[in-house]
Chains A and B, each alone.
Chain A
Amino acid sequence: QVQLQESGPGLVKPSETLSLTCTVSGYSISSGYYWGWIRQPPGKGLEWIGSIYHSGSTYYNPSLKSRVTISVDTSKNQFSLKLSSVTAADTAVYYCARDLGAAAGGNWFDPWGQGTLVTVSS
């Protein structure tokens, strides 16, 4: 059974860099699939941030691209998110998920991690 778990600081100061890690169990990232990050501001909808392949190939939401870096560490079976120059608007629950559909030409996410709330505040 594939499981994903987000980890990282729950509080980040404005202008600093948000860093999160997603640890995957039950499946080797090296075996394939894209892996993604999605966020959800409190009480609002879902926003895709970006995705990465085990080879390191990435694609990002253009609205965040200048501030986002997603990387993968296959030796630890983890992938990570860095979002720079954060503001209060980046306060959200951040989810990691496996992109099951990329190999079929679409993108659908399953499973998801439980999510982690990151608050941007001084």
Chain B
Amino acid sequence: DIQMTQSPSSLSASVGDRVTITCRASQSISSYLNWYQQKPGKAPKLLIYAASSLQSGVPSRFSGSGSGTDFTLTISSLQPEDFATYYCQQSYSTLITFGPGTKVDIK
């Protein structure tokens, strides 16, 4: 199985801050990496697919980068509606796995 880790597990930030979340795979997954946002009591929402492609309708302040084993999700200027938990997900393997999540809350 391909194990996914995320760092940090949680962070506190202020509106307007630049936020970076890291996701690491236990082996190379090329660019088969996706990012989701989940708010409490809601379903996850796709933000980024194939490591760096912005899903339609997602604000441009979200961006993704990386390949191989190391990936980042960046929020260029944190907005009030961005406080949520973020998950990465790999699909290189037929066993699809998610990272443990990074919770972004208000400082």
Contacts and interface: CB of A to CB of B under 8 A. Distances in A.
A90 interface: no
Contacts of B36: 46, 109
Contacts of A62: 95
Given A46-B44, A112-B44, A107 B91 contact: yes
Given A45-B100, A45-B101, A62-B95, A114 B50 contact: no
Given A100-B49, A101-B50, A112-B45, A107 B96 contact: yes
Interface residues of A, number: 23
Contact of B49 (A45, A47, A101, A112): A101
B46 A110 contact: yes
A103 interface: no
**Interface size class, chain B:** 20 to 34
Interface string A50-74: 0000000001011000000000000
B44 A45 contact: no
B94 interface: yes
Contacts of A111: 43, 46
Nearest to B51: A106
Interchain residue pairs A-B with the least CB separation, the first 6: A107-B91, A112-B43, A110-B46, A108-B49, A48-B96, A46-B98
Interface of A: 45-48, 59, 61-62, 95, 97, 100-101, 104-115
